Structure 1
Amino acid sequence: MESELKGLLEKNNNTKRCAHCDKELKENYFKVLENFLQVKFYTDPEGEDNMFCSEECVLKSLFVEEMTFGKEIGFKKGAD
């Protein structure tokens, strides 16, 4: 309850926060500019769900991970 109240007060004070890790954004932030994602994935009218403190937070929020050939989830070697 206390953290929810703190979040509401900070939003009212116009504090911008990272959409992934909740770190306060100071001067710069990262934003996904791909049109499809902006229209279909990021829905906050103020754009606060598309503001990130780092490239790492953008990648984590989109579930981007490095893969190794032949070791992908659901991949069966020799399957067509």
Structure 2
Amino acid sequence: MSDRFTEIAEPLDLVGRSRFGGMNILLPETSPEAGRKRLQNLSRAVNSSPFEIGGETIHVTPVIGYTPSRTRQPNLLNAHI
């Protein structure tokens, strides 16, 4: 999954896994509207490319949320899902 995230990442973006098991992308210097559009593109990329695991094809539908932040430490627990 992280490979799909990094395929669309911009040079300043940070991609990582949260302690809760989800993937996070920090989009610095991105407006909320541009962030929503980029997350929609990510959702389409994940949906259009199934994963191959153990010889089995698996289709994944991501659940994507966002939280706009003007601070250096966004509160990811309050993300809009």
Q: TM-score range by the shorter chain?
A: under 0.3
Q: TM-score, normalised by structure 1?
A: 0.21
Q: TM-score, normalised by structure 2?
A: 0.21
Q: Report the structure, 1 or 2, having the larger strand content.
A: 2
Structure number with larger C-alpha Rg: 1
